Amino acid sequence: MKLFNQDLAPRGSSMSYAGLLERLEILRSTLRWANQLDRPDIEKLLRQANAVRDEVMQLSHKERFVQALDADRRSEAVDKPLPHPGERRQALLARSFVFEGTFGDNPRLLDALEIAEKAAPTDLPVLIDGESGTGKELMAKVVHANGARADKAYISVNCGAIPESLIESELFGHKRGAFTGAATDRKGKFESAHKGTIFLDEIGELPLQGQVKLLRVLQSHEIQRVGSDETIAVDARIVAATNKNLRKLIEEGQFREDLFYRLSVIHVSLPPLRERKDEIPLLLAWYGDEAAEVLKRRPVALSPRLREFLLEYAYPGNIRELRNLMYRLACLAGDLADLAQLPEDIRPRAVPAPAPASLEAKDADGASSSPPAPASLAEAKRAASDEAERACLERGLKDVGGTVAELARRWDMNRSHLQILLKKHGLHSKDFRQAR
Ligand SMILES: Nc1ncnc2c1ncn2[C@@H]1O[C@H](COP(=O)(O)OP(=O)(O)OP(=O)(O)O)[C@@H](O)[C@H]1O
Ligand SMILES: [Mg+2]
């Protein structure tokens, strides 16, 4: 019988098989020793049996999924031992794979994307892990967008950002008067995600009490609003993400093992950017173009030494950091960006800081004079940030020929806030009227 065949069970789910057997045994002995059962007891046993049945179905789904993936890989390996570079990428795109970013030929990233693509049409829970800025949220959207629920709700919850006392109400809703401040009945995120997908971000931050409640909902597919006895059926596909090592949290007693297995039926790991450096040129081009489009300017060219730096840099903030860097360069540089326009904390030490208000004139020759030494690190940071702000404002005003309203519209900013910033830097829009 499949359930008992440990060889078939993928590593990790054997824990769940053992747990299921234990629960079946409890059910069996309850029935064996019961002389008489009242209706409520029968209902309770039925609910328990249903939960076990659901879990068995999920495990069997997972087995089929993992076996299909393995079979796919084996047959690919036999037919085409070494795919040509670009082949896997092209194949994904040819299958109308929806992805709002860019990807190259990095095998680890392609592994993750192919798993997400295959998992998407199923309703299996997906757990995505990876360092901050590696694209976990983007991947959650990939799972949603490539599945049958794509046209239904996608609800995102940041489990780390909700105060512990409000988690239950945020996830499951509440009834009017359930607690001080509950002035009206309120739907929770699970109900809003009915028929769609719920993205549980930073799941490792969910306190233990919240974990117990979540587990119960995942088992029963029902929620109860806080302060209400009524149960409401919810059908939400679960995608969770974390930048923590959940196995370590389990060892430390901070994360429930049973919840981990529930959530990680499909597990996708995103490699940090420093382990997929071959993707960096693609991302530089992608975000160089995007930043130019957003800032309504021509794409910035990178000096050879800046390009070399950007290709080799370790990006502790991963793709988010690369993206921010490209926006910074597009804002601060003229036609050619150089090391001097990098943020001070990552700039190679021999390179001087850009001189105030002359950023645009500078180029690869690094010919500007060094500014006076700052009194402290905080002072240096403040000065660098002021310089960048001023340079950006100057460039923006120049591009719009000194029309503040137009600049506010382009930057999607409040006009009076923009006026305050101009005043702070002593900039006068009329000085830019002829400069266009
Ligand atoms: N392959 C990619 N192509 C283009 N942009 C990407 C790619 N992957 C991620 N990004 C971008 O990188 C940024 C960070 O991605 P995302 O927010 O998904 O990361 P995260 O892992 O959820 O980060 P955090 O842990 O800090 O929440 C976003 O702007 C996202 O659009
Ligand atoms: Mg995120």
In a domain, 223, yes or no: yes
Q: Ligand 2 centroid vs 201 CA: distance in angstroms?
A: 6
Give the pLDDT band (50/70/90) at residue 37: confident
Percent of the chain with pLDDT over 70: 82
> Within a domain: residue 374?
no
The verdict on 114 and 239 lying in the same domain is: yes
Does 339 lie in the same domain as 286?
yes
Residue 5 has a pLDDT of 33
Task: Ligand 1, residue 130: give the atom nearest the CA.
Answer: 21
Range name among 156-165, 382-391, 425-434 with the lowest pLDDT average: 382-391
pLDDT for 351: 63
Question: Is residue 93 situated within a structural domain?
Answer: no
Say how many Å lie between the CA of residue 280 and the centre of ligand 2. Answer: 20
For residues 414 and 218, the model is more confident at 218
Residue 421's pLDDT band (boundaries 50, 70, 90)?
confident
- The answer to whether the CB of 243 is under 6 A from ligand 1 is yes
253 and 312 within one domain: no
Both 205 and 317 in a single domain?
no
| Domain that residue 116 falls in | 98-271
Please identify, among 271, 295, 321, the residue that sits at the C-terminal boundary of a domain: 271
For ligand 1, atom 5, the nearest C-alpha belongs to 101
Q: What mean pLDDT comes out for the span 128-138?
A: 97
β-pairing verdict for 232-233 and 222-223: antiparallel
Question: Do 288 and 385 fall within a single domain?
Answer: no
Q: What is the pLDDT of residues 307-316, one digit of tens each?
A: 999 999 999 9
Residue 10 in this model has a pLDDT that exceeds 60: no
Give me the mean pLDDT over the 405-433 stretch. Answer: 82
- 251 lies in some domain: yes
Average pLDDT over residues 179-186: 87
Q: Is the distance from the beta carbon of residue 137 to the nearest atom of ligand 1 less than 6 Å? A: yes
Q: Give the residue carrying structure tokens 């950023």.
A: 359
Q: Give the least confident one: 64-73, 248-257, 363-372.
A: 363-372
Q: Which ligand is nearest to the CA of 319?
A: 1
Q: Place 381 in a pLDDT band, splitting at 50, 70 and 90.
A: low
Average pLDDT (87-116) is: 92
pLDDT on residue 80: 58
User: Is 155's pLDDT higher than 90?
Assistant: yes
Report yes or no on 90 lying in a domain.
Answer: no
Residue 10 tokens, joined? 């993928």
pTM given for the model: 0.68
Flag whether 88 is in a domain.
no
Query: Residue 380's pLDDT band (boundaries 50, 70, 90)?
Result: low
pLDDT above 90 covers a percentage of the chain that reads: 54
Least confident of 93-97, 118-122, 411-415: 411-415
pLDDT in the model for residue 13: 40
Residues 190 and 265 in one domain: yes
Query: Taking ligand 2, which is a single-atom ion, which protein residues have CB atoms under 5 Å away?
Result: 137
Same domain? 4 vs 54:
yes
Q: Give the mean pLDDT of 21-39.
A: 82
Distance 263 CA to ligand 2 centre (A): 17
Any atom of ligand 1 within 6 Å of the Cβ of 132: yes
Domain C-terminal end among 339, 369, 399 = 369
The residue whose CA is least distant from atom 26 of ligand 1 is 132
Say if residue 188 is in the same domain as residue 244.
yes
pLDDT tens digit string along 213-238?
Answer: 999 999 899 999 999 999 999 999 99
Of 82, 106, 132, which residue constitutes the final position of a domain? 82
Q: Distance, CA 138 to ligand 1 centroid (Å)?
A: 6
Q: How far is the CA of 125 from the centre of ligand 1 (A)?
A: 20
pLDDT given for residue 40 in this prediction:
85
Q: How far is the CA of 246 from the centre of ligand 2 (A)?
A: 16
Q: Between 206 and 75, where is the model more confident?
A: 206
Same-domain check for residues 243 and 356: no
Task: Please tell me whether residues 111 and 201 are part of one structural domain.
Answer: yes
Check if the beta carbon of residue 221 is closer than 8 Å to that of residue 202: no
Please indicate, yes or no, whether residues 70 and 121 belong to a single structural domain of this protein.
no
310 and 203 housed in the same domain: no
What does the pLDDT average to over 79-86? 68
Establish if 401 belongs to a structural domain.
yes
The closest residue, in CA terms, to atom 8 on ligand 1 is: 135
Confidence of residue 207 (pLDDT cuts 50, 70, 90): very high
Number of domains in the chain: 4
* 108-117 mean pLDDT: 95
The closest residue, in CA terms, to atom 25 on ligand 1 is 132
Query: Does the Cβ of 323 fall within 6 Å of ligand 1?
Result: yes
Where residue 379 falls among pLDDT bands split at 50, 70, 90? low
130 lines ligand 1 (CB under 6 A): yes
Query: Average pLDDT for residues 18-22, to the nearest whole number?
Result: 75
The 10s digit of each residue's pLDDT in 249-302 is: 999 999 999 999 999 999 999 999 999 999 999 999 999 999 999 999 999 999
Q: Could you tell me the CATH number of the domain that includes residue 301? A: 1.10.8.60
Identify which ligand lies nearest to the alpha carbon of 270.
Answer: 1
Which domain CATH number covers 216? 3.40.50.300
